[in-house]
């Protein structure tokens, strides 16, 4: 039975999502609290954590940010999401997560710690894109840095227009 277009507000409510600092919505769904904590340079961390992450037409961008931990992304439903990753050497990698694997979209993606990453919802029929992320060592806000537009442009001037599009103006 076809229920018609899914209302993104229903998805947010059903998954109990909250606004995320980088944009979009999220909820932690798992933390490996049955295991011993890992000792990291930043302090003790869970072995792994996981979240749902949703971008919507009203909040279509996950701003550039930097994580210390490795992250596995898993596409679930909705419209495709484009990921832009700037490596330490300044090279840019762009991947699209979505269900059209024959067109080169990815169902899962690995982003190593130490890479500047941003995401944006691509136009589609649903008005949202839902993924989940598994993070190891487990995510802690102390291990994340939001991208400062001026600093990123100074470091990666060749990506000026992309950085302007995928960061908030700090002025």
Q: Which pTM was predicted? A: 0.92
pLDDT band at 169 (very low <50, low <70, confident <90, very high): confident
CA distance 171 to 163: 15
Distance CA 163, CA 153 (A): 7
Tell me the percentage of the chain whose pLDDT exceeds 70: 96
pLDDT digits (tens, 9 = 90+) for 94-153: 999 999 999 999 999 999 999 999 999 999 999 999 999 999 999 998 999 999 999 999
Q: At 12, which helix (H) or strand (E)?
A: helix 8-14
Domain segments of the chain as ranges: 8-165
Alpha carbon distance 161, 8 (integer Å): 29
Enter the CATH code of domain 8-165: 2.60.120.10
Side-chain-side CA neighbours of residue 73 (13 Å) = 26
For residue 161, give the 3-state DSSP assignment: helix
DSSP run (H or E) holding 155: helix 149-155
47 secondary structure, DSSP code: S
Task: Tell me which residue of 89, 104, 105, 84 sits closest to 155, measured CA to CA.
Answer: 89
pLDDT grade for 1, boundaries at 50, 70 and 90: very low
Q: What percent of the chain has pLDDT over 90?
A: 87
Residue with tokens 């949202």, as numbered in its chain? 128
Tell me the average pLDDT across 147-165: 97
At 171, the pLDDT band (50, 70, 90 cuts) reads very low
User: Pick the residue with more confidence: 3 or 146?
Assistant: 146
């Amino acid at each position: 039975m076809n229920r018609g277009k899914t209302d993104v507000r229903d998805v947010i409510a059903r998954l109990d999502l909250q606004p995320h600092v980088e944009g979009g919505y999220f909820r932690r769904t798992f933390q490996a609290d049955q295991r011993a904590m890992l000792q990291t340079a930043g302090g003790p961390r869970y072995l792994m954590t996981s979240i749902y992450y949703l971008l919507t037409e009203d909040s279509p961008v996950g701003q550039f940010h930097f994580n210390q931990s490795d992250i596995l992304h898993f596409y679930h439903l909705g419209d495709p999401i484009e990921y832009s990753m700037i490596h330490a050497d300044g090279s840019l990698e762009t991947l699209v997560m979505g269900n059209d694997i024959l067109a080169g979209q990815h169902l899962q993606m690995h982003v190593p710690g130490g890479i500047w990453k941003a995401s944006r919802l691509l136009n589609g029929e649903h008005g949202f894109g839902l993924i989940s992320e598994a993070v190891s060592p487990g995510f802690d806000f102390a291990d994340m840095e939001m991208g400062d537009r001026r600093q990123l442009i100074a470091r990666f001037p060749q990506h000026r227009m992309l950085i302007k599009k995928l960061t908030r103006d700090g002025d």
